[in-house]
A and B are shown apart, each in its own frame.
Chain A
């Protein structure tokens, strides 16, 4: 982004990568797949790179409002400094925080989740996708809480899967009643409280009941949790966990 600024240019959209997308080896693949799609659609985009910092979501949900607002205000200063208007992110947690909690602190942006953004690109005809290798494959979609229930977006990811011409089978608990993967509310960064099962295993079992070839996800944390769940059920040879952006990129062999 700094380079853009130096050249006096403004990107069409800022890609907010998020901590998982930047550091987690699995999530980095999602980042790269999404970038391939952006490039294919000739989107003029920028990233903050080393100037990006945690949105503060896990801090807020852990109860540390102070740390959250420190993070938020710092990020807002950076974003406003670059006069950012439009942001896209592949993480529903970043999406939710920037969309809902930044405006009250002076950060007003048009923010889209990457599934919404990809859907709009397809509607505008800037990105075309055909079923490719996923055509007719049995796939189930796991709703991220912070995209679905938290922000009411259930259709964008499903529309994309439809474009891939997959056979979409819904789990028993889906959309507004979808079961959490277990990572939200800062649970990602701690061991679960004592219980008789891990939430991600419960959710993965439910996903496996639909006998899918692929569990589609739209959140890097859900992705981790479901991948771990699939491993725990020793199903990793038969079932893949993929982000929708990865699926679209793979369908095209990008």
Chain B
């Protein structure tokens, strides 16, 4: 009988981690629906980006207030995980504050004290985040694409974190009271700079009640963490994991460099080569031309672009800096990422149901992202620069424009005129190429 809590704990742990792992596998499968892309270059630069941008949060602090708050929550999250490790060991083996028996007392007390301070700071940070969203109503959290689920999702995450931190501090406060009562099993361990202010609330409670509070908070805290872990897959909050690989795979060439399509290069080279036999049959085993140019659906995008979509945490810094969005156009780079993920998830569910993807008469273009959005982009790279986790919404916009122009010849009329001019007179305007040097003799 005495092992029941241990067994229940192990079941909860395995179920919690197992379900999460299953969903992560789904994400990996969905990302692999995208086009393969070679990212084996610039390894040193990529790792340095991970250290600077992901670990070092260098882009978060471009905006000092949310940046600082985020650093606090991020550091708190990472460091408090050491405490979770202790909780897991205790849960499995039925020990209590096991690290105290392993680590020197001074170090243990220091650790617990720092967890408490961080937990308090995280709580403050999260409350301020909530205020920014709900009281201050910052514009980027109230944009069109943030209605309904995305808005609730953002708040649920903050509530989760608030509750977890309060439970952690409550647990420590009750533990402290039990320690001072000399209750069995509760060793004198830890230093409690924050929860010492909560402990007086428990004065006069019986040992039994205190144990119930302590155990209750302990269980709810660890179960809460497992639930939160599994909530990630359904929310925008995956960035706490995916930010790291995403930054690694982020763009490492100048932002102005857009990729050249190799298939087109081959065509153009053939066209310009006077020795090519125009009637030649394709060589045996020659690589076939790609099925289509550009992207009209999620699986036409690259795996990195799909990883981008799962990583996006909808902070909206991209949209906030987008010149098109600022001036009231429909384009929002954040929405491009959200749409891509939504469509990819839809495709994933279709595969779950049918074993393979059955055409559903929908695609990313038009059903999610409209042409008006795509044509509003100035390719200025403000969104790419703004993203704290190296997401590249511009590359998706470009791929979709490519599909519109090269597969559908559906460019806006004025652009067709400009392109015809380029083709015929080597300039986007209707001037004669022979007049290119006229400026030389004008005054």
Contact = CB atoms under 8 A, between A and B. Distances in A.
Contacts of B405: 62-64
Interface in B309-364: 321, 323-324, 326-331
A210 interface: no
Interface string B260-280: 110011011101100000000
A195 B328 contact: yes
Interface in A136-163: 145-146, 149-152
A198 interface: yes
B38 interface: no
B412 A190 contact: yes
Contacts of A232: none
Contacts of A202: 323, 326-327
B380 A180 contact: yes
Interface string A185-200: 1111111111111110
B329 A195 contact: yes
A169 interface: no
Contacts of B403: 63
Interface residues of B, number: 68
Given A59-B422, A149-B382, A184-B378, A189 B323 contact: no
B258 A60 contact: yes
B206 interface: no
A189 B378 contact: no
B235 interface: no
A67 interface: yes
Contacts of A96: 254, 256-257
Contacts of B258: 60-61, 100-101
A42 to B, nearest CB: 18
B323 A182 contact: yes
Contact of B439 (A28, A150, A152, A182): A28
Contacts of A185: 377-380
A60 B397 CA distance: 12
Interface string B359-382: 000000000000010011111111
A203 B275 CA distance: 51
A168 interface: no
A71 B422 contact: yes
Given A58-B428, A198-B327, A179 B415 contact: no
Interface of A: 17, 19, 21-24, 28, 31-32, 47, 49-50, 52-54, 56, 58-67, 69-71, 73-74, 77, 96, 99-101, 104-105, 145-146, 149-152, 173, 176-177, 179-180, 182-199, 201-203
